Amino acid sequence: MADPGHEQSTIGVPIKASSNAMNLNVACSQAEENGFSDLVPATGTEEEVREILQQTSLKLVDDHLVEFSEALRTVAKALRRVAEGTAIATAEAAEWKRKYELERARNLQLKKQSEGSHHNPFNEKLQNSPDRVVMSGPQIEQTEKCCGKHGICSHEILWDEAPQSNSKLAQEMADAKKASFKLCWGCNGEKSGQHKHEIVSFERGNITTAERSSKQILLKWESPPQTVLILTKPNSISVRTLCAEMVRWLKECKKIIVFVEPRVRTELLRETSYFNFLRTWKDDDEKKLLHTKIDLVVTLGGDGTVLWAASMFRGPVPPLVSFSLGSLGFMTPFQSEQYRDYLDMLLKGPISITLCHRLQCHVVRDAAKDELETEEPILVLNEVTIDRGISSYLTYLECYCDSSFVTCVQGDGLILSTTSGSTAYSLAAGGSMVHPQVPGILFTPICPHSLSFRPLILPEYVTLRVQVPFNSRGHAWASFDGKDRKQLAAGDALICSMAPWPVPTACQVDSTNDFLRSIHEGLHWNLRKSQSFDGPHDS
């Protein structure tokens, strides 16, 4: 008699094998339906088939997630562009509405004045003239408050006389008189008043410009200079030796009062008590009043010393004489070996000077109530740089010029430079070299993420606003002449305009000669060997 347990075990084996074969067939059929018949082996176990199916399903899920994320990114970009376009359109609509309301109020006021005054045919013709220029907004206030000190005011209307002739053409020209016009600018106070009387003249109703005021400037002393401030490059034995020798010469031979920095006075007094006559300042309050005491500033060092000298004066700057004792000498035209001859000539005058413009920068935080609530202004002689700092993301900056949108900067950063700083960081970033007496602001991107983003040169009277938008991935950092680094978070803005106090720097010859010499010697600009004379010639 057979063992019952053995019989059950022998019967269970083929039943289990048949179920495994059935599951394998079902899995293979499902793989064929999903299009993965090539991946399933013809002869394989159930575990191999399951492993292959799991891998393929995971791959399908990953591919779908990648496509879904790309679609979401595209939608986010589109929504961001729509939001930016809506904000710009809303701002433009509000500005146009404001201008329309101001113009309407102006026209109603003119209509009431014309109804209340005596009837004048010419005034009626002038009011109804299609060529009449209607000003609105701040220009109206400027016209009404203009005092005539900054330009040609609105009441100065120029008339044109018709030629006297008996011909029919002359009679027609006499009947159709040239339209009167008016020019108005710089009438908004001390902020940006541009004195234009010297460069604009009128002749029979036509505008002509006289010679520009940017020609070479000469400084003539009305009385001999009495005080000289000497600023030196630190940690240099040769500079300290030259400073001590120059101080002795100015005191004994020229009878001039000499000011130095507290650090320099301490170093010289360590050597000998002879330098007790040197004057200095004690705190920042006395430092702010230096421009009221100093007649001439002398720097001993390189361009960095010149930048340091300019940063010491937050307002007016005395004439600056720079002696070359550093590695860079774009702004140091005088050689230290002949300092006595140069200083003797400069103290007698006249001095050929270059007015190096400076930028005045304000940081406006997002928490500020309005743009008047700013941090202490910073003056820069070369440039202000906005970069991404330690962040690995590209900078994202919104730029505005006055009330006009300029562009969005995406890249390593942006440089706002003066023309004096055009041969510094701006030049390294691809900006152009500009003569220092050309009044303007250089707008230079740093490694932009667009091949069509090229540098700009903007006029000197504009106000630039660079803002970090709220959708920026990271913060930005602003540095002013390479120092005073400040962090700009989302919503913060940097406002830059031309400062009213330039830096008058003395020239060895004149501004153009010194500028060309500096780019030839400092940059080796367009330096190459001449072609050989014994080469091929035209037949």
Question: Which active-site residues does the annotation give?
Answer: 303
Q: Which value, to the nearest 10 degrees, does the dihedral of the CA atoms of residues 339, 344, 348, 354 take? A: -10
3-state secondary structure of 479: strand
- Among residues 487, 317, 319, the alpha carbon closest in space to that of 388 is found at 487
DSSP tag of 385: E
Amino acid code (one letter) for 267: E
Angle formed by the axes of helices 237-252 and 262-271, to 10°? 90
Give the angle subtended at the CA of 413 by the CAs of 409 and 416, to the nearest 5°. Answer: 90
Sequence letter at residue 100: Y
Give the whole-angstrom CA distance, residue 66 versus residue 138.
54
The neighbouring-strand residues paired with 408 are 398
Considering only CA atoms, which of 233, 261, 229 is closest in space to residue 332? 233
Q: CB pairs under 8 A, 24+ apart, for 341-344?
A: 342/508, 343/246, 343/250, 343/254, 343/298
Report the alpha-carbon distance of residue 499 to residue 188 in Å, rounded. 16
User: What distance in Å separates the CA atoms of residue 306 and residue 302, rounded to the nearest whole number?
Assistant: 7
Name residue, tokens 């060997």. 529
SS3 399: strand
Enclosing H/E stretch for 289: none
Q: Burial-class residue 193 by CB neighbours within 10 Å (0-12, 13-18, 19+).
A: middle
Count of CB atoms within 10 A of residue 471's CB?
11
CA angle 316, 510, 295 (to 5 degrees): 30
**Which amino acid, one-letter code, is at 236?**
S
Which residue in the block uniquely carries the two structure tokens 């003539």? 220
- Report how far residue 190's alpha carbon sits from residue 199's, in angstroms, rounded to the nearest whole number: 19
- Report whether 324 contacts 350 (CB < 8 A): no
Determine which helix (DSSP H) or strand (DSSP E) holds 511, and give its type and residue range: helix 511-523
Residue pair 497/360 in contact by the 8 Å Cβ criterion: yes
Distance from C-alpha of 386 to C-alpha of 479, rounded to nearest angstrom: 7
Instruction: Give the C-alpha separation, 272 to 279, whole Å.
Output: 15
